[in-house]
Amino acid sequence: MIKSEKAKMLAGEQFDVYDAELVAERAATRQQVEAFNALGETDPTVSEQLIKQLFGSTGLSCSVHPTFRCDYGYNIHVGEDFFANYDCVMLDVAPITIGKHCLLGPRVQIYSVNHPLEPAQRRNGAQGIGKPVTLGDDVWVGGGAVICPGVTLGNNVVVGAGSVVVDSFGDNVVIAGNPARVVKTLTPTL
């Protein structure tokens, strides 16, 4: 049986980003995102409802400031007490899973999509490859940080502002830089 491009995407296989079904899904998501962004901060209750409809799953408390951008929405899963500040982007070709009590500073970017390294493959149509991103509980990502495809961060990780995270890290560390590296080990207090 031949897999659809969406099935390939969800399986983490190389897929055609211009497939008609995926283009239609992104267009529908864009409409939802634009409705959320147009609301601004005039009605936090409605804003939270729109985000909860957009995301695959959320905890009871989920706060996202506009503007916000994503590809599909249904691949974003956040735990209880989630907060994303202004201008965040989550490219959710593969699952983006964020634990409880997590904070994203302004302009944080989380990418779960990559593209082939070979130019010939990129020229034969925009090919994507999904790689999940996972953030544990109590993670704080500073403003302007970029989390790259395939990264997993443990619990109680702090990402310094402006950092580019290309590798995974375990629990209880502060990471910073480009590429991000451990700059401090934390003692858990919970």
Q: What is the pLDDT of residues 3-51, one digit of tens each?
A: 999 999 999 998 988 899 999 999 999 999 999 999 988 999 999 999 9
- The catalytic position among 65, 77, 101, 115 is 115
Higher pLDDT: 123 or 171? It is 171
- d(Cα 118, Cα 101) in Å, to the nearest integer? 39
| Structural domains present in the chain | 5-185 (2.160.10.10)
What one-character DSSP code corresponds to residue 116? -
In Å, what is the CA distance from 7 to each residue of 14, 23, 79, 160? Answer: 10, 14, 26, 35
Give the per-residue pLDDT at 126: 67
How does pLDDT run across 47-88, given as a tens digit for each residue?
A: 999 999 999 999 999 999 999 999 999 999 999 999 999 999
Q: How far apart are CA 157 and CA 140, in angstroms?
A: 6
Q: pLDDT tens-digit profile of 75-129?
A: 999 999 999 999 999 999 999 999 999 999 999 999 999 988 888 777 776 688 9
Active site residue 65: no
